[in-house]
Amino acid sequence: MDYLLSILAIVALIWAAIAAVIWVAVRQLRGAVDRAISSFAERQQSHVRRLLDALEELQRRQADAESRIQVLTSANRTLVVQVTAMRERLGLDSDGRSDADRVIH
C-alpha cells in the first residue's frame, strides 16, 4: 500500500511539474503574442499617421490647384471678352474675315 501511495505521489508531482511547465510556456507565449500585437499596432499607427499626412498634403495641393484653375478661368474669360471686343472693332467675324473680305469673295 505504501508503494501505491508513493507511486501516486510521484505521479502527482510529475503532473504538477508538467502543469507548471505548460503554465510557464503559455505565459511566455502570451507575452510574445502581446508584444507582437503591440508592435503591429505601433506600425499600424505609424502607417495611418503617414497616410493622414499624405492626405493632408494632397488636399493642400488640390486646394492650390483649384485656386490656380480659378485664376486661369478668370483670365481666360477676360481674354475672350478682349478678343471679342477687338474683333468687333476690327470688323472681323469668327473666321477672322472682315466685312470687306466677305463682299469680295
Report how far residue 40's alpha carbon sits from residue 36's, in angstroms, rounded to the nearest whole number. Answer: 6
> What are the pLDDT digits (tens) for 43-62?
999 999 999 999 999 999 99
In this predicted structure, what is the pLDDT of residue 21?
A: 96
* Nearest in space to 19 (alpha carbons), one of 11, 33, 30: 11
In this predicted structure, what is the pLDDT of residue 92?
A: 73
- Please tell me whether the overall predicted TM-score, pTM, comes out greater than 0.85 for this model: no
**Which grid coordinates are listed for 1?**
500500500
In this predicted structure, what is the pLDDT of residue 9?
A: 92
Confidence of residue 19 (pLDDT cuts 50, 70, 90): very high
